[in-house]
């Protein structure tokens, strides 16, 4: 039962975090239509959205993050620990109880995202909405593929990628 709670809580937490970000950034992205846009703004919007769909959505989420979240949640379901269940969303995203490599990657990406946020909030109109439109597409893709991978993992209880656990996890069933 504890494992199932961790699986569900981790799934809802990760997907919820992504969807909350989509909603918040969508409001800013839609501001693009409130300002007069030149042709180069429209070109930038289309190119940026396509770039973010491919790099963030497909490469980042669909091919790496989402399958790993599902793999980590499958492991948690089979090996529940109270503290990991309580922190299941952080665990699923690789911020705790992960290999050294996964921790470095997860925190590096977090720092990079925070730097991009600091840059984005200072962009003038219409460049901030353009940037946020691409991020919204990537995050929505990510929430969708994470949901898909989690549902697949629930159905099959298997995963195709490593959950990137710490070495000590192999010593404890």
Rounded distance between C-alpha atoms, residue 1 and residue 159, angstroms: 20
In this structure, is residue 173 part of a structural domain? Answer: no
- Please state the rounded mean pLDDT for residues 86-96: 97
In this structure, is residue 172 part of a structural domain? Answer: no
**% of the chain surpassing 70 pLDDT:** 96
Q: What domain range is 13 assigned to?
A: 2-161
In this structure, is residue 103 part of a structural domain? Answer: yes
Specify burial of residue 52 (Cβ count, 10 A radius: 0-12, 13-18, 19+).
buried
From 66, 88, 104, select the one nearest 12 (Cα to Cα): 88
- Please state the rounded mean pLDDT for residues 141-155: 95
In this structure, is residue 70 part of a structural domain? Answer: yes
In this structure, is residue 166 part of a structural domain? Answer: no
From 116, 93, 117, select the one nearest 105 (Cα to Cα): 93
Tell me which of 161 and 57 has the higher pLDDT. 57
Structure tokens at 131: 């940037």
Is 98 strand, coil or helix?
A: coil
In this structure, is residue 71 part of a structural domain? Answer: yes
Number of domains in the chain: 1
In this structure, is residue 126 part of a structural domain? Answer: yes
């Amino acid at each position: 039962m504890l494992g199932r709670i961790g699986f569900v809580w981790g799934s809802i937490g990760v997907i919820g975090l992504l969807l909350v970000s989509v909603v918040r950034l969508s409001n800013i992205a839609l501001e693009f239509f409130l300002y007069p846009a030149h042709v180069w703004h429209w070109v930038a919007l289309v190119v940026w959205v396509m770039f973010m769909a491919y790099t963030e959505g497909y490469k980042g989420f669909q091919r790496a993050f989402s399958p790993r979240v599902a793999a980590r949640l499958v492991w948690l379901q089979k090996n529940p620990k109270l503290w990991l269940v309580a922190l299941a969303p952080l665990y699923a995203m690789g911020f705790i109880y992960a290999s050294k490599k996964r921790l470095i990657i997860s925190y590096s990406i977090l720092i990079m995202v925070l730097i991009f946020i600091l840059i984005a909030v200072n962009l003038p109109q219409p460049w901030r909405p353009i940037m946020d439109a691409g991020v919204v597409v990537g995050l929505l893709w990510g929430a969708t593929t994470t949901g898909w991978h989690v549902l697949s993992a629930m159905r099959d209880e298997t995963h195709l990628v490593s959950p990137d656990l710490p070495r000590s996890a192999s010593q404890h069933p």
